[in-house]
Amino acid sequence: MRTVKHALLIARKDLAVELRTKESINAAGAFAIVILLLFSFAFDPGSEEVREIGGGLLWLVFAFAGALVFNRSFARELPNDCLDTLLASPLSAASLLVGKALANFIMLLAMELVSIVVFGIFFNVNWTVHIGELSLVFACATWGISILGAVFGALTVNLRLRELMLPIIIYPLLIPLLIAAIELTKVLLSNQPMTPGDFLWAKILIVFDVVFTALALVLADTILVN
Amino acid sequence: MREKVAIGSAAAAAALLAYNLYQMFMVLPDEALQGAIYRILFFHAPAAMVGMVGYFVALTFSVLYLTGKNFLYDSLAASVVEVSLVFSVINLVTGSLWGRIIWGIWWTWDARLTSALVCVLIFFGYLMMRRAVDEPTQRARLSSALCIFGCVDVIIVYKSIDWFRTQHPGPVLDFRTGGGKMDPAMANIFWLNFLAILLMAIALVLVRTRQEATAREIDSLRRLAHTAA
């Protein structure tokens, strides 16, 4: 309970800082729109194919723009020894990690909401048909990205070439989650009925979230050593 | 002692490989459906098995490092990952060659192949991260954490046989099918070659572990000299 309370405290702090500066969310949002614009040149925006590849386009956008969010997650604590202060505080490493992941999660969801609205407009895709199921997919997949982003943001915060190392390390680990999210989004955007194979992707998404969240909590002290 | 084990493993691997190559090319006939190219399986599958098992061995050493803080385990983990990565790449390349002949394509994005490539990328990232960290304790700690996360993906690779429809051929080994579809003579050479590749891997790991330990010793002497200066 205390860990949850502390995690919410950290998340609130990060979101308050972000609301004031808007550095990550503006960059991520702008980058997402730029990628969607570039995709409009690579693929015919008006074609039926877009519904087939829409899931892939969206999650590529979210993954690349998301890197800007979790890159800043721990990096913003480096000036003025804020990270050392946090680690020396009574807050547990697990609560710090989960708090950061929660803040990333909310920022990523905000970016995804803006992106999918723009995507719907640019590519003439009606994404509101299965909005409930789509929201669940977005929530599960975004949590997976957020928790891994927080873990590896913490791991790479003091490395040289941090901005280069983080994507190289994190994207291969995210591949199973991205595949599952892409497949489910593709089905929901193209208004096809869900098959048993699609439910398998949903299970993979949930298992991924549970396993990596548990791993993050167990290894939090190792990852965030002062 | 470690040196003797390394030399012994290398010698045994060389002898076994020589015997197996003779058996493969001079004794065993071509496979009924695949022809001569089937022989690549004697290297492809053992390389895959050694690679995959290696990642779990590295996981064990990583956990041992985190619990005991003994740098020997970190050296072992890094060496095992490096050697496993080499064998995983051999697996992908030989598989690609086999696929080109049998399927007519160099690559396909089925679950097992994709997951194998993902494993290679994850542990390539592991080695890159090790190079980016100068401080040995931090390097060992971060590597161990990344190895644990990475090995979860290895499990997904293994389970992909059961989870997804795949273009990759189904299992032919006795312990997978319960009855076996490989000819007994071929199966014998397969397992002997697996042993040869395993011994080669052990020799390489021992040599690399020694190199890692020596590099760390040199690094600590440099730091000491720098501090003294």
Residue A91 confidence (pLDDT): 86
Nearest residue on chain B to A214, alpha-carbon basis = B149
User: The domain B2-30+37-166+186-214 is classified under which CATH number: 2.40.50, 1.10.287, 1.10.30, 1.20.120?
Assistant: 1.20.120
Q: B128 touching A, CB under 8 A?
A: yes
Give the confidence band of A158 by pLDDT, cuts at 50, 70, 90.
confident
Mean pLDDT of A157-186: 86
The DSSP secondary structure of chain B, one letter per residue, reads -HHHHHHHHHHHHHHHHHHHHHIIIIISPPBTTTBGGGGGHHHHHHHHHHHHHHHHHHHHHHHHHHHH--HHHHHHHHHHHHHHHHHHHHHHHHHHHHHHHHTS-S----HHHHHHHHHHHHHHHHHHHHHH--SHHHHHHHHHHHHHHHHHHHHHHHHHHHHS--SSPPP-SHHHHSS--S-HHHHHHHHHHHHHHHHHHHHHHHHHHHHHHHHHHHHHHHHHHHHH-
**ipTM, two decimals:** 0.80
pLDDT of B113 reads: 79
State the average pLDDT over residues B163-168: 53
CB within 8 Å: A222 and B66: yes
Which of B88, B110, B128, B129 should we substitute to test contact with A (largest number of A Cβ atoms within 10 Å)?
A: B129
| Residue extents of the structural domains in chain A | 2-223
Q: Tell me, what's the pLDDT at B161?
A: 43
Ranges A7-11, A124-128, A182-186: which has the least confidence: A124-128
**Low-confidence winner among A98-107, B32-41, B57-66, B136-145 (lowest mean pLDDT):** B32-41
Q: Do A212 and B118 touch (CB under 8 A)?
A: no
Q: Do B141 and A225 touch (CB under 8 A)?
A: yes
Query: Model confidence over B46-81: pLDDT tens digits?
Result: 999 999 899 999 999 999 999 998 999 999 999 999
Q: What pLDDT shows up at residue B156?
A: 66
What is the torsional sign of CA B177, B182, B184, B187?
Answer: negative
Share of chain A above pLDDT 70, in %: 98
pLDDT tens digit string along A203-224? 888 989 999 999 999 998 888 8
Asked if residue B168 has pLDDT above 60, the reply is no
Q: B125 and A172: CB-CB below 8 Å?
A: yes
Say yes or no: B11 contacts chain A, CB-CB below 8 A.
no
Q: What residues of chain A lie within 8 A of the CB of B118, using their CB?
A: 172, 175-176
A interface mutation test: which of B55, B142, B155, B166 has the most A CBs within 10 A? B142
With an 8 Å Cβ cutoff, is B144 touching chain A? yes
Does residue B85 carry a pLDDT above 90? yes
Whether B121 and A172 lie within 8 Å, measured CB to CB: yes
- Given CB atoms, is B145 within the 8 Å cutoff of chain A? yes
Q: How confident is the model over B143-166, as a mean pLDDT? A: 72
Contacts of A219 in chain B (CB under 8 A): 145, 148
Q: Give the tens place of pLDDT for each residue, B96-154.
A: 998 898 888 888 877 677 778 888 988 999 998 898 888 888 899 989 999 999 888 77
CA B79 to chain A, closest CA, distance in angstroms equals 19
Asked if A160 has any chain B CB less than 8 Å from its own CB, the reply is yes
Q: Indicate whether A152 pLDDT > 70.
A: yes
Q: Is A124 left (phi over 0), alpha (psi -120 to 50) or beta?
A: left
Average confidence score pLDDT of chain B = 85
**What is the pLDDT averaged over residues A69-93?**
83
Q: Does A52 have pLDDT greater than 70?
A: yes
Q: Are B76 and B221 in contact (CB under 8 A)?
A: no
pLDDT > 50? residue A181:
yes
pLDDT over 90 percentage in chain A: 30
Question: Rounded mean pLDDT of A169-191?
Answer: 87
State what percent of residues in chain B have pLDDT above 90: 38
Query: For chain B, which residues make up each domain, given as ranges?
Result: 2-30+37-166+186-214
Note whether B133 contacts A: Cβ–Cβ < 8 A. yes
pTM strictly above 0.95: no
